[in-house]
Structure 1
Amino acid sequence: MKWRERTDRRSEIRMSSQKKSKNRQKTDLKSITRPYRIVSYISLALFASLIGYMVYFQVFLSDNLLNSPYNKRQEIVQEQIVKGSLLDRSGNVLAETVTAEDGTESRNYPYGNLFAQAVGYSVYGGSGLESTENSTMLQSHADIVTQMQQDIQEEKKQGDNVTTTLSAVLQQAASDALGSNRGAVFAMDADTGEVLVDYSSPNFNPNTIEQDWESLVNSEDGVFLNRATQGQYPPGSTFKIVTALAYYRQHGTFDDFSYTCTGSYESDGYTIHCAGNEVHGQESFQDAMANSCNCAFAYMAVNLIDKDLLRQTADQMGFNQDIPVELPYNGGEFTLDANTPNQLTMQTAIGQGDTLATPMLMCMVADAVKNNGQMMTPIFVKSVDSATGSNVKTVQPQIFGDVMTTEETQALEPLLEAVVQRGTAADDLSDLPYQIAGKTGTAEYGDVSEGKAHSWFTGYTNTGNNDIVVCAVVENGGNGRAPATRVARNVFSAWGTETY
């Protein structure tokens, strides 16, 4: 028995020793492999980051790189493909490649100055749609038979054509109306956001840009500035659309408003005047909008609208926001909070003060009213088609945001109709044979004592059939020499009588 007990004891000791040995081996193995596991995890993380960046690059950055003038790949592609054309929505050629007898290629712009900033140019790094759609027009999706024939004959392939949303008819109407005045016109399809007009003056002739380059870049006229998308102006009384919306959101109705205009309104030692010191007398909200009564809107901004609510409303209507458009643009600027002094609050409510907007943005604001609160993102391209006519891509409308309720738009729309029917836009627009709603604006700038002011109009047709939204700005046109309503009228008239 003793012998058996000693044997069992030795076995237990041996087994315990083996277990300890195995545990030591496991511990040693873990210690040895731990650095390798860390390196593996780091490698996996780096690999995942690389894959993530590649996806991000393909989705967001690839077109920018392809269109960059510093991308040498473009030069290689241009040796194999003839750059396609830019067309307006009706098929009219806006930009095309012309090949000389010696094989030299150059871009031709049949409309000259008319689309200068929107279409742009292809030299010196490029601009406008010529730049943003460059990589698209340097791709060829022609049918396989055509491509084989061109390969056999050692001919360059023909690049794809880009059909823009622009209308040569409406663009010409905007140009004719603006004439030699500085300013801009921006127009969209109310339902889709397709940009019909993007006109800016002064401008340049892209056909002679290489010869004129030195004088253009040294000019103080700002001819390369697309005033329709980049020009930041005080919006003047067109901003009263936003102020009215903030009032409605706070009170739930316009029916409770009443104000007696004496031609001026004073608060904290600062006085706001109506245009020409006109006395409007007793006014409802609709009267105040139709008359563009500065005093009424200054009064309500100080006494009846929460300042934070006005700022929130402006932000929702596109101010201080990034707008995902294809061409270069500047955003709207708006600053106001609970601590803003009454002097600046009164100016802000009527589109003065520190408030800035582009014609594109104020066009979007009017579009939201017309479109039951849905603000559309402006789009410049309708489709891409191969040289042999097959569709490569069709661009779908893009919603910027649902910025108003249907109830709010139904409350605002009669106010804007009153502006045209019996208010500040009546002389120029009320006789047109279709319903128009909108808002005029006179925006002071520079030294107020000099009486300098820009003229604004933003509004839309309201027929229920392919309606358009138009915004026009005439620089220094606030003196009646070239009011923006007359410019808008010409575009509305072209829309009503021409196929575009």
Structure 2
Amino acid sequence: VARVLREVMGVELEDKLKNVSKGIEPVRIKEDLSQRELELYYYNSFRLPGVFVEVVPKRVYPQGRRACHVIGYVGYPDEEEVRKFGGRVAPRSFVGKLGLERSMDEVLLGELGREEVMVNALGRVVRTLRKMEPVKGKSLVLTIDLRIQKIVEDVFYESGQPAGAVILLNAKTGEILALASFPGFDPNKVWEEWEELRKNKLKPMFNRATRGRYPPASVVKVPFSYAFLDTKTTTPVSKVLCTGSYFLGDRRFFCWQVYGHGQVSIVRAISESCDVYYYHYGYELGPSTLIRYARLFGYGENIPLEIPVRRGFLPTPEWKRRRFKKPWYDGDTINLSIGQGYMLSTLMEQTLMMMAIINNGVIYKPTLIKEIRDPSGRVVWRNKRKVWKVVRGRQEYFAVIRRGLREAVRRGTGTKAFSTIADIAGKTGTAQVVRARKDSKRKLPWRLRNHAWFVGFAPYRDPVFLVGVLVEHGESGGRVAAPIARKIIERIYIQGINRELFT
């Protein structure tokens, strides 16, 4: 048999059997046979006792890279997965390894078919004793709109940025219409390209939209603005003088606008992202209150989603004492007030926070699944809108903040998100990675450049689309992330998808 396999199929049987333990499971000696190889096998099958051709299922992803981090990919089960699913999988079955393929395995898996046969001394089947047909698993219908997903991915790749993420939700329901992490991968070729994917320093299989944690930067000024109003620390008309810096004892903390903003109200503070304004009121509130309000808006909380979402990190004086054996300094509060320092957040957290601002305090549970259907196509479960969190407060506070977000796009830090096609509002953020002089930032290596944020919504009057953009090491939220969000929204409007979905 070994000689015939070598001559006819070009297979060295000894090499295939080297690391195989004894057992009753068949050994796969060649995969993906061509038509010519099949003909050669059947022509010589009488010379190959115990060798047979097996037709095995193959998962095909027709959209390739599209929504790869949402869908995920499959592979053969390890020992733990075989034990977990019992008789529902065999060593050569497929189980989910990433994304919904993994998290929804219990739903997607069917039941194995079984066949008991009698074979002769040559290994040929002579009689079927018992046969049980396989049962298909259930199917998922996603909330992802493939047209919007394509727009999101196309726009980001066109930007030329190597890494980042975008989330686009329906602000009225929490349905995720698009979710993408960059760079991506082709789930059809994961095992072929495994070594290349594993060694890629940009980590293509890492979901930056739900798992990446970064300083929230100025985007967190939005919930902090609400905290200032809700605690009566400030009013919509109160002003702070920004001269370009803020003194705390003998230390000087600079505003990003070194020449200062002059007299700044809360609307202008949001619009122009005045650091001094947030230093002033953030220090007055203190770290415990700032963290408490951040948590109200979903930061540092377990976000319920069908794929895993990593929690952000909210630092406290107690944590710092345990971690570094040092007290919490006033400078830590100053840094926290503008989203720098120890605080970390995910794109999902920042996007859901903005949903609360849009909906006067209501955050709907984000979801990727619209329906579950049985093998016959009958709907066995249909998702319904659910409220995840409610920030209880005065509606006028949310309205004031929304006005500031609109001004940010019209004449503030987010003007590159301004569009004549859609009325967009939002907040930019630039998260510092390392301390550097402004005139030297472009000389920094890519991995040391600042991260860029933009979280916004459209249309302003009756928000439907909620978009969060993170560009890893993108340097500037206003210059890099904001135009990506604008182009995504504009293409949705130009293609008429907004009218089709919501009219």
TM-score, length of structure 1 as denominator length: 0.72
Identify if the C-alpha distance between structure 1 residues 278 and 108 changes in structure 2 by more than 3 Å, giving closer, same or farther. farther
Q: Distance in 2 between matches of 1:463 and 1:295?
A: 27
Aligned position for 1:114: 66
Secondary structure of residue in 2 paired with 1:214: helix
1:340 aligns with 2:328: yes
Secondary structure of residue in 2 paired with 1:352: coil
Question: Of the candidates 344, 347, 364, which is equivalent to residue 352 of structure 2?
Answer: 364
The aligned amino acid for 2:154 is: D
Q: Distance in 1 between matches of 2:354 and 2:58?
A: 40
Aligned position for 1:65: none
Identify if the C-alpha distance between structure 1 residues 465 and 250 changes in structure 2 by more than 3 Å, giving closer, same or farther. closer
1:467 aligns with 2:464: yes
User: What are the residue-to-residue correspondences of 1:65-464 with 2, within 5 Å?
Assistant: 103-123=55-75, 126-139=97-110, 156-179=134-157, 180-181=160-161, 182-251=163-232, 254-275=235-256, 277-303=258-284, 305-336=285-316, 340-407=328-395, 408-426=397-415, 428-449=416-437, 451=441, 452-462=449-459
Q: Distance in 2 between matches of 1:396 and 1:332?
A: 27
Identify if the C-alpha distance between structure 1 residues 207 and 193 changes in structure 2 by more than 3 Å, giving closer, same or farther. same
Secondary structure of residue in 1 paired with 2:388: strand
Deviation at 1:447?
Answer: 4.2
Q: Quick check: 1:331–1:357 contact (8 Å CA) kept in 2?
A: yes
Q: Distance in 2 between matches of 1:265 and 1:272?
A: 5
Q: Distance in 1 between matches of 2:460 and 2:377?
A: 34
Q: Quick check: 2:236–2:400 contact (8 Å CA) kept in 1?
A: no
Aligned position for 2:3: none
Which deviations, in whole Å up to 9, do the C-alpha atoms of 1:427-449 show, x marking residues without a partner?
x2323333322111111113445
Bigger share in helix: 1
Q: Quick check: 2:283–2:337 contact (8 Å CA) kept in 1?
A: no
Identify if the C-alpha distance between structure 1 residues 230 and 124 changes in structure 2 by more than 3 Å, giving closer, same or farther. farther
Q: Distance in 1 between matches of 2:76 and 2:153?
A: 26
Q: Quick check: 1:169–1:494 contact (8 Å CA) kept in 2?
A: no
The aligned amino acid for 1:177 is: V
Deviation at 1:357?
Answer: 0.7
Q: Quick check: 2:267–2:400 contact (8 Å CA) kept in 1?
A: no
Which deviations, in whole Å up to 9, do the C-alpha atoms of 1:411-437 show, x marking residues without a partner?
3221212212221112x2323333322
Secondary structure of residue in 2 paired with 1:265: strand
Q: Distance in 1 between matches of 2:278 and 2:347?
A: 22
The aligned amino acid for 1:106 is: K
Identify if the C-alpha distance between structure 1 residues 288 and 123 changes in structure 2 by more than 3 Å, giving closer, same or farther. same
Deviation at 1:196?
Answer: 1.4
Which deviations, in whole Å up to 9, do the C-alpha atoms of 1:24-51 show, x marking residues without a partner?
xxxxxxxxxxxxxxxxxxxxxxxxxxxx
Aligned position for 2:44: none
Q: Quick check: 2:427–2:454 contact (8 Å CA) kept in 1?
A: yes
Question: Of the candidates 470, 480, 483, which is equivalent to residue 483 of structure 1?
Answer: 480
Q: Distance in 1 between matches of 2:290 and 2:492?
A: 35
Which deviations, in whole Å up to 9, do the C-alpha atoms of 1:65-113 show, x marking residues without a partner?
xxxxxxxxxx9xxxxxxxxxxxxxxxxxxxxxxxxx9632111112222
Identify if the C-alpha distance between structure 1 residues 113 and 396 changes in structure 2 by more than 3 Å, giving closer, same or farther. same
Q: Distance in 2 between matches of 1:256 and 1:340?
A: 32
Identify if the C-alpha distance between structure 1 residues 166 and 464 changes in structure 2 by more than 3 Å, giving closer, same or farther. farther
Q: Quick check: 2:414–2:478 contact (8 Å CA) kept in 1?
A: no
Q: Distance in 2 between matches of 1:375 and 1:221?
A: 32
Secondary structure of residue in 2 paired with 1:251: coil
Deviation at 1:490?
Answer: 2.2
Q: Quick check: 1:373–1:406 contact (8 Å CA) kept in 2?
A: no
> Which shows bigger deviation, 124-133 or 473-482?
473-482
Q: Distance in 2 between matches of 1:486 and 1:261?
A: 28
Q: Distance in 1 between matches of 2:155 and 2:371?
A: 29
Identify if the C-alpha distance between structure 1 residues 389 and 464 changes in structure 2 by more than 3 Å, giving closer, same or farther. farther
TM-score, length of structure 2 as denominator length: 0.71
The aligned amino acid for 1:490 is: K
Q: Quick check: 1:195–1:379 contact (8 Å CA) kept in 2?
A: yes
Identify if the C-alpha distance between structure 1 residues 391 and 138 changes in structure 2 by more than 3 Å, giving closer, same or farther. same
Aligned position for 2:82: none
1:492 aligns with 2:489: yes
The aligned amino acid for 2:406 is: E
Aligned pairs, how many?
A: 388
Deviation at 1:156?
Answer: 4.3
Q: Distance in 2 between matches of 1:290 and 1:139?
A: 53
Deviation at 1:337?
Answer: 5.0
Q: Quick check: 2:151–2:492 contact (8 Å CA) kept in 1?
A: no
Secondary structure of residue in 2 paired with 1:241: helix
Which deviations, in whole Å up to 9, do the C-alpha atoms of 1:292-316 show, x marking residues without a partner?
111221122123x243221211121
Secondary structure of residue in 2 paired with 1:288: helix
The aligned amino acid for 1:134 is: D
Deviation at 1:155?
Answer: 5.9
Deviation at 1:157?
Answer: 4.2
Aligned position for 1:90: none
Percent of matched pairs sharing the same residue? 28
Which deviations, in whole Å up to 9, do the C-alpha atoms of 1:378-435 show, x marking residues without a partner?
1111101234332111012222211242523223221212212221112x23233333
Identify if the C-alpha distance between structure 1 residues 435 and 254 changes in structure 2 by more than 3 Å, giving closer, same or farther. farther
Q: Quick check: 1:437–1:459 contact (8 Å CA) kept in 2?
A: yes
Q: Which runs of 5+ in 2 are unaligned?
A: 1-24, 26-52, 78-96, 112-130, 319-326, 442-448
Identify if the C-alpha distance between structure 1 residues 480 and 456 changes in structure 2 by more than 3 Å, giving closer, same or farther. closer
